[in-house]
Amino acid sequence: MAVLDIKKYPAPVLKKKAAAVSVFDEELQKLIEDMVETMYAAPGVGLAAPQVGVSKRLAVIDISSRDDQHPLIVLINPCVLRTAGEVEFEEGCLSIPEYTAKVKRSESLVVRAHDRNGDEVEIEADGLLAIALQHEIDHLDGFLLIDRISPIKREFFKKRYKKKKTEK
């Protein structure tokens, strides 16, 4: 296993819609293991393949440090079947270090995906798990949390980001 480099905003891979996974082989299993190790080392509660430079519809989530009912989840080719309600949650992102924003998300949802063995699973979620699922699926669709905030806040973020880059 290896800790992978997490791509940071504005890396182009973060804005691309990821390709579906069609082969469940040893290479995929190694990528999953490396992503899990990277997520724990970061530390984070979720990580999508585009965040490590791989444009595949794969994400790992582990919120067990905050909710021990939900151990490690591996999502491959996830799609949202149903959503309900709305909630606002303060989110951070490993690809945008030192930045958090309140993001509106569905309060609960049902997601269909494949697990690491290629078996189809359905996950019903609310609370932190629902937020993490939506956040990681956004990454697979080429969206970052800054794409979910108001245009004014997004422009403020971009100006502050550019200023930080020029100060380094």
DSSP string, 110-129: EEEEE-TTS-EEEEEEEHHH
Q: Nearest CA to 100 among 64, 142, 135?
A: 135
Cβ-contact 146, 160 below 8 angstroms: no
Q: Where are the domains of the chain?
A: 12-167
Residue 155 appears among annotated catalytic residues = no
The predicted pLDDT at position 104 comes to: 96
Catalytic residue among 26, 122, 136, 155: 136
Assign domain 12-167 to a CATH class.
alpha beta
The predicted pLDDT at position 109 comes to: 98
The predicted pLDDT at position 63 comes to: 93
The predicted pLDDT at position 166 comes to: 79
Q: pLDDT tens digits for the chain (168 residues)?
A: 899 999 999 999 999 999 999 999 999 999 999 999 999 999 999 999 999 999 999 999 999 876 566 689 999 999 999 999 999 999 999 999 989 999 999 999 999 999 999 999 999 999 999 999 999 999 999 999 999 999 999 999 999 888 887 776
